[in-house]
Structure 1
């Protein structure tokens, strides 16, 4: 048995939510000595480039979470043409949504309907469309931005497990992104409906949005929907949310996306990097 398979199997019995909430409490610690020790150890371990940060002094952050979700300098991530990456990370998979299915990893597909919380009407918008998945490792910048402009119409919290979302788990846990806790954000755009799905993961303490603040964790284990009668308009490249520790963003587009030449699954991408062009 491979180490990747073993790593995936041992996650099944773990108390995902308990572990994540405990890590979350530690990450919110305001005791200076502990906070600074955590931040410095993290910078050394993952080679974080603080020169990109709007606040480069690692001791200036009130909590580890504030450091982890730090803003970048305004010129650190230029915004490219067409559809751009919503985050720094690894473009784990991308392509067409075929028969309502998205590719998770070789040998594993999952349904758009399950990803969107069992909403068949919403999933039908994406038949014949495209998707792209970006995995954010702990070392990446952890704010999520708009791949292009849109108006928020609905936000859906979907409860679930909190498996790791790294490459090993993605390759061995079926329906991973449709099993984990997630936040589905629906937008109207000039190219039709778009869904940005912020997927939770083990030791991800919380998911936040710019319009509603911290969303997860929620105490009730049921799908919760919130419609927006007052429009929330976000422009291309504008921040829409953030993760407190690493996770994954799944983008679903109603229109086919012509991906940029030379782009391949597994490539490192940066927020604002052009991924391709949608049909006009």
Structure 2
């Protein structure tokens, strides 16, 4: 069990330094997952769709705009990077868009760019015994994708990208290509907050997922999985065409911490050694949208 002094350290790719993550809802999550009384309440809250929807309604209310300025100050958000608009509620702010050019996508055909702005964990090869970890939660590829689909990606690279509430919550296509098929996987909703993950197991199968199989120009087949967490409940797909180009918006998450998982086929690309080294030392890597993931 973690203590109240537990720190979450991440590696910032842009700044090339290690820093401590400021966790949204820190005190409340610690109560739910680290306090004996909170432990009794957690099973009643975790996975409760009514609570998730009620929380979503609060974030969609006009009064929720009062939370925007304190949120920006606490997490040091640079709002100059985003489009200048008037937000009608916190959810509207949460799905804010970057200004054109604020996050250019790497255009090298041999390089896989980051499809979302998040904290990444990389795995060189997928296999049946692999456990995908997000701060203590684990799941095997078969449980993420299903038996039939997971076999096609066995031996290929995998990345788990955790989006914290402070992050840009739109996700994008990493290459040109076509959507081969999409399917949802429904389940309980639970937090992807790293403090919560220390106490919860099989966090992905407790969440709602949407799987897309992409046929890309430069990297072959990619399995692109979106995971919605507690207080989100909705994964919104904004791209309706079968065809897409590198950097096109694919969709967004409503309020809460969420996750994107990428699976590649064997030999399709290799993750940057710098990132694998940071992961080996127990740190996720904070990577901006569009920056290189592979080498």
Partner of 1:2: 2
| Cα distance in 2 between the residues matched to 1:205 and 1:62 | 20
> What TM-score results when the alignment is normalised by the length of structure 1?
0.81
| Cα distance in 2 between the residues matched to 1:105 and 1:90 | 10
Q: Report the count of equivalent residues.
A: 251
Cα distance change on mapping 1:126 and 1:135 into 2, 3 Å? same
Partner of 2:26: none
Deviation at 1:44, TM superposition (A): 2.5
Note if 1:91 corresponds to 2:120: yes
Secondary structure of 1:259 counterpart: coil
More strand by share: 1
Q: Is the 8 A contact 1:192 1:255 kept in 2?
A: no
| Cα distance in 2 between the residues matched to 1:99 and 1:92 | 18
Cα distance change on mapping 1:120 and 1:87 into 2, 3 Å? same
| Cα distance in 2 between the residues matched to 1:268 and 1:71 | 19
Partner of 2:89: 63
Q: Is the 8 A contact 2:65 2:88 kept in 1?
A: no
Deviation per CA, 1:41-91, whole angstroms, max 9, x where unpaired? 322232221100012x5xx12232121111101111121241111111111
Deviation at 1:171, TM superposition (A): 4.0
| Cα distance in 1 between the residues matched to 2:227 and 2:101 | 28
Partner of 2:272: 260
Q: Is the 8 A contact 2:119 2:287 kept in 1?
A: yes
> What TM-score results when the alignment is normalised by the length of structure 2?
0.77
Unaligned 5+ runs, structure 2: 4-29
Deviation per CA, 1:65-123, whole angstroms, max 9, x where unpaired? 1211111011111212411111111113433112263421577642222212xx32211
- 1:51 is aligned, of 80, 89, 108, to 80
Q: Is the 8 A contact 1:100 1:126 kept in 2?
A: no
| Cα distance in 2 between the residues matched to 1:87 and 1:105 | 16
Note if 1:21 corresponds to 2:53: yes
Q: Is the 8 A contact 1:156 1:184 kept in 2?
A: yes
Secondary structure of 1:96 counterpart: coil
- 2:261 is aligned, of 241, 244, 250, to 250
Cα distance change on mapping 1:47 and 1:146 into 2, 3 Å? same
Q: Is the 8 A contact 1:130 1:254 kept in 2?
A: yes
Aligned CA RMSD, in angstroms, stands at: 2.3
Cα distance change on mapping 1:108 and 1:208 into 2, 3 Å? closer
| Cα distance in 2 between the residues matched to 1:150 and 1:102 | 29
| Cα distance in 1 between the residues matched to 2:42 and 2:209 | 18
Deviation per CA, 1:232-267, whole angstroms, max 9, x where unpaired? 111111110111122111111113431113113311
- 2:236 is aligned, of 197, 203, 208, to 208
Partner of 2:132: 103
